[in-house]
Structure 1
Amino acid sequence: MGKGYFFDLYSIALAAGKEIMSVYKDDFAVEVKADDSPITVADNRANRVILDGLKRLNPDIPVLSEEGNETSFDERKSWQKFWLVDPLDGTKEFIKKNDEFTVNIALIESNYPTLGIIYAPALDVVYFGAEGVGAFKLEHASTAFIQDNEDLLRKSVRLSGIGSKDVTRIVASRSHMSKETEAFIEEIKAKYGQVEAVSSGSSLKFCLVAEGKADFYPRYAPTMEWDTGAGQAIVEAAGGKVSRYEDGARFFYNREDLRNGWFLVENNH
């Protein structure tokens, strides 16, 4: 299924990004949700575009979105397939205007991500990948004049997830650097020698691992399922892995509690 959806999701993500950038260029109000996380009109506009696009694409696949209506676990626990959406990942980065925010869309099947797309509208770069197909990157995404699925694949660069052999790179959050993350960096230094820290916002951290610009992304701080689904799909399609901190098992989705536990992202090293 994955490959056939690439062009459609690319088109939806670009449309959402256009809405986000129309807000980004001007002054905008910031509200605070019940969980103390920030939200702007850009989050809501992008969410509407994505929900409309996914409904047209396949009305039979339900959607779980950060900004959508809350769906109870009793309702969604029977879902074998659903879209997992963060219309504006990195709202804090958006507010800071540092360009490192993204649109995230993932397809979850039997609790695991099989397809994902991440679009960074301010950087105009899109990453996408699917199980059994591979992972890809397209720069200048909004002006690439993509006509169909094959055209998208032809103009994109395939990601191998293989990093440098000379230095080990660890990507960490700009907004969340925990003591545990710092301890992990020290462990890697002891094991591999030279270590370089790479900072990035939002789900772009997954993308750096997928394209081999980072070897590890330890996340020992809170996230939600919609923050990670698309990134995991892309990393795994590039040959990497995303595992739970507590037991090393593959990260899975549609849990009763949508808050993620700690995890580690590794490239194809």
Structure 2
Amino acid sequence: MDILHIAIQASLEAGEEIMNVYASNFEVETKEDESPLTIADKRANAIIMSHLKTTNIPIISEENKEVAYSERKEWNQCWIVDPLDGTKEFIKRNGEFTVNIALVENGAPILSALYVPDFKTLYFTKVSEEKAYKIELEKHQTPISEIIANAREIKPSSASKARIVGSRSHLNDETKEFINNISEKEEVEIVSKGSSLKFCLVAEGKADLYPRYAPTMEWDTAAGHAICKAVGISVTALPANKPLEYNKENLLNPWFLVSNRS
């Protein structure tokens, strides 16, 4: 099976299991870093691992034990997975949570499947083809052939506007300052969205800028980064002003900016 197809299938099955939990009275645990965890995270992770292990490519997942960098630095490829990105949104039951699966090569994302299970919306890409796709499904169990045949290509906005996408859970002083600096020069529209959907909004032309001055991990961004990269959207680490990198010694991302402006 095509490696992207494996990622897509894993995301759909994980999304279906997430929705099974979503419909129940689930409990919320707190991890050591004080972030929330549910049985949906664990079950989705198990499903994704079962699929990705067939590729014999090593895996970095939020819900797996972290592999030492002394071993990871030898990897030229690895999967980077967040089985349930936006657990806070999941707990709030606002639907803005995703399954993130990305394949990274030499520090850069090269393909991804990003699934929004509550809306049955799938984004996917092979970055080398310089195209990304979106499809809204009728059911989670949709054949891959049908998905590939019916997905539509997405493109960013051609007009350089100032629609700034922000997090529903993280809007700090640095982000407000970024917004204020732009609003002094032009009219600004704020678009609120949770999880990695913020990347997708810029990639499909519904927003233009996504500044992130709050902590994220590599698994929060790799899948969305791939979608953006495929359609020519920059994802720039700050203050270094170079592309966000993956499989770093520290899996914590620096601040970054997603932008459709050259």
TM-score bin (small chain): over 0.9
Q: What's the offset of the Cα at 1:267?
A: 2.3
TM-score using structure 1 length: 0.92
**Aligned match of 1:189:** 183
**Which ranges of 4 or more aligned residues in structure 1 deviate by more than 4 Å?**
none
Contact kept, 8 Å, 2:168 with 2:194, in 1: the verdict is yes
Task: Name the amino acid aligned to 2:53.
Answer: K
The amino acid that maps onto 1:161 is: P
- Structure 1 residue 187, shift from structure 2 partner: 1.8
User: Are the equivalent residues in 2 in contact too, given 1:163–1:213 (CA < 8 A)?
Assistant: no
Once residues 253 and 49 of structure 1 are traced to their aligned partners in structure 2, the CA distance between those partners, rounded to angstroms, is 23
Report the counterpart of residue 135 of structure 2 in structure 1.
138
Deviation at 1:7, TM superposition (A): 2.5
Unaligned runs of 5+ in 2: none
Distance 1:40 1:142 in 2: 23
In the alignment, which residue of structure 2 is the partner of 1:104? 100
Q: Is the 8 A contact 1:239 1:268 kept in 2?
A: no
Aligned Cα root-mean-square deviation (Å): 1.7
Are 2:69 and 2:249, in contact at CA under 8 Å, matched by a contact in 1?
yes
Query: Alpha carbons of 1:154 and 1:228: their partners in 2 closer, same or farther (altered >3 Å)?
Result: same
Measure the CA separation in 2 of the matches of 1:19 and 1:186.
41
Q: What does 1:53-202 align with in structure 2 at a 5 Å threshold?
A: 53-56=51-54, 58=55, 60-133=56-129, 134-140=131-137, 142=139, 145-148=142-145, 151-162=146-157, 164=159, 167-191=161-185, 193-202=186-195
Whole-angstrom distance in 2 between the partners of 1:194 and 1:233: 29
Q: CA deviation at 1:141?
A: 5.8
Query: How many residues get paired?
Result: 261
Identity %: 49
In structure 2, what is the equivalent of residue 29 of structure 1? 27
CA distance in 2, matches of 1:143, 1:221: 32
**Who is 2:49 aligned against?**
51
2:7 counterpart (6, 9, 18): 9
